[in-house]
Amino acid sequence: MSYQVKLPDIGEGIAEGEIVKWLVKEGDSVKQDQPIVEVMTDKVNVQIPSPKNGIIRRILAQEGQMVKVGQAILEIDAEGQEQAEMQPPSQVTKEEISKKEEKQTVQENVIATPSVRRLARELSVDITKVKGSGPLGRITEQDVKAYAQQRTESATQMTETVTKEKEEEVEIYQLRGVRRNISEHLVKARNATVAVTHVDEADVTELVSLREALKGPAEKKGVKLTYLPIIMKALIPVLKEFPFVNASLDDEREAIVLKKYYNIGIATDTEQGLIVPVIKNVDKKDVFQIASELNNLAEKARNGALTLDEVKGSTFSITNPGTFGGLFATPMINWPDVAILGIYKISKRPVVKDGEIQIRDTTYLSLTFDHRVIDGAYAARFMSRLIEILQDPKRIMSEVL
């Protein structure tokens, strides 16, 4: 008997995913629970196991395709049930008809006239994303144009112009996988926040020596200690003091939600692009624990092995472009967080201290925040407080361990 495998509910309110890779092909036999397909949702890959023993009959979704939860992605001739006896195919053919029809009407919940659907294609608008203003939610020509207009104004404009170039002069990469998620997420972040960046300078000479001092003990515990875990720990008292930075804005409820837990997202560069794994409950862990978790997550991120849980639920984030040089940047907020801390390259610079020029380890720090939630003065005070802690080794020691 043929059995349709649907994209299961992966949880966390995820409604769709992208087929990244089929691990089986038509004609293969599969065992129950054997992974059959890799699906990417919101920045992580999930492997979907086969619900049954059987033989893969037909793959219904191509790699790169977005599928909705509940949508059929595969047909399995399930084992155990009697194969229908050999029949002339007239019947089989009819059975196929309905399936084929189903395949050809994927957009059946979209109401739009054929010419409007074509317009959407011409403007590279995914019509399933457009909200219809007409009767029964019908999508009008105006709706599609308005959507395209708004999109052009937003961040994806770049890819738009790329595809318009002459093909010989450019190389075109389809937005797939992580890249597509980044793109969608960033547009959302941009459209959902009013981002402003505040930059300050910190003398981190004491921090540098603190790390030197902790390196040995860290190695004994088998972890590589960077500045990041120390800064994360230093952040906790500041976040507690400035609760509006560890928060999110719930537009629907028109409410600011202050979070009493401290999950810090760490922007991580991988071969496929930017991923933000989250260290949970930073306030309850020591630097070494954090360091080892960081190494672990970074490794997983690079292998595409992160679970959904590991990239969800941040309350605040850190980006560390310093390792790649530059003075400072204006990062994007990791929405729905309201703020992101940027830490940059630590270098020796001349600093006037105690009335004389000294060579000190300094860095720039930036806080990009949603101005709807936080005002500039609040952000500046947050930053000063953080710098104060980072510059004071005794404070750091007590917070760090």
Partner 1 sequence: MQEADIAIIGGGPGGYVCAIRAAQLGLRTIVIEKDRMGGECLNYGCIPSKALITAVKLYDKIRNAQKLGIKVTGVEVDMQIMQAWKKNVVETFVSGVEQLCKGYGAKIIKGEAELVAKDRIRVTNKDQVEEISTEKLVIATGSIPLELPFMRFDHRSIIDSRDSLELTEVPKRFLVVGGGAIGLEIASLYQKLGSQVTIVELTEQLLPGTDPEVVRIVQRNLERKGVKIYLKSKVVYAEKTPYSVKVTVQTPEGNVEVETDKILLSIGRRPNTDKLNLGQLGILTDQKGYILVNKQMSTSVEGVYAIGDVTGPPMLAHKASKQGIVAAEAAAGLPASADWKVIPDATFSEPEVANVGMTEATAQVKGFAAAKARFPFAALGRSLTAGETEGFVKLVYDQNTKLLLGAQIVGSSASDLISEVSLAIEMGASVEDLAMTIHPHPTLPEGIMEAAEIASGKPIHQLRIGQR
Active site members: 371
Residue 286 makes contact with partner 1 by CB under 8 A: no
Q: Least CB distance from residue 280 to partner 1, whole Å?
A: 37
Binding segment for partner 1 among 5-13, 95-103, 173-181, 356-364 (CB under 8 A)?
95-103
Q: Tokens 């380890």 appear where?
A: 361
Residue 82 makes contact with partner 1 by CB under 8 A: no
For partner 1, which is the closer residue by CB, 6 or 345? 6
Binding segment for partner 1 among 130-138, 154-162, 275-283, 368-376 (CB under 8 A)?
130-138
Residue 6 makes contact with partner 1 by CB under 8 A: no
Q: Which tokens go with 186?
A: 């960033």
Using CB under 8 A, pick the residue from 13, 27, 80, 325 that binds partner 1.
27
Label the pairing between strands 347-353 and 274-275. Answer: unpaired
Q: Least CB distance from residue 134 to partner 1, whole Å?
A: 8
Binding segment for partner 1 among 108-116, 192-200, 224-232, 239-247 (CB under 8 A)?
108-116
For partner 1, which is the closer residue by CB, 83 or 357? 83
Q: Least CB distance from residue 52 to partner 1, whole Å?
A: 17
How far apart are the C-alpha atoms of 189 and 193, rounded to whole Å?
6
How far apart are the C-alpha atoms of 176 and 179, rounded to whole Å?
6
Q: Least CB distance from residue 154 to partner 1, whole Å?
A: 21
Residue 388 makes contact with partner 1 by CB under 8 A: no
Binding segment for partner 1 among 113-121, 294-302, 323-331, 349-357 (CB under 8 A)?
113-121
Using CB under 8 A, pick the residue from 105, 150, 157, 303 that binds partner 1.
105
Residue 251 makes contact with partner 1 by CB under 8 A: no
Q: Phi/psi of residue 132, each to 5°?
A: -85, 140
Using CB under 8 A, pick the residue from 88, 216, 325, 355 that binds partner 1.
88
Residue 136 makes contact with partner 1 by CB under 8 A: yes
Using CB under 8 A, pick the residue from 31, 68, 100, 215 that binds partner 1.
100
As to burial, measured by CB atoms within 10 angstroms (0-12 exposed, 13-18 middle, 19+ buried), residue 291 is: buried
The type of residue at 101 is E
Residue 176 makes contact with partner 1 by CB under 8 A: no
Using CB under 8 A, pick the residue from 29, 32, 81, 107 that binds partner 1.
107
For partner 1, which is the closer residue by CB, 63 or 203? 63
For partner 1, which is the closer residue by CB, 143 or 293? 143
Q: How many residues bind partner 1 (CB under 8 A)?
A: 36
Q: Least CB distance from residue 15 to partner 1, whole Å?
A: 15
How far apart are the C-alpha atoms of 144 and 125, rounded to whole Å?
7
Using CB under 8 A, pick the residue from 12, 96, 160, 375 that binds partner 1.
96
Residue 89 makes contact with partner 1 by CB under 8 A: yes
Residue 174 makes contact with partner 1 by CB under 8 A: no
Using CB under 8 A, pick the residue from 14, 23, 66, 111 that binds partner 1.
111
DSSP tag of 340: E
Label the pairing between strands 316-319 and 339-343. Answer: parallel
Using CB under 8 A, pick the residue from 31, 121, 224, 240 that binds partner 1.
121
Q: Least CB distance from residue 317 to partner 1, whole Å?
A: 37
The type of residue at 339 is A
Binding site for partner 1 (CB under 8 A): 26-27, 57-58, 62, 87-98, 100-101, 104-105, 107-108, 111-114, 117-118, 121-122, 124, 134-136, 138
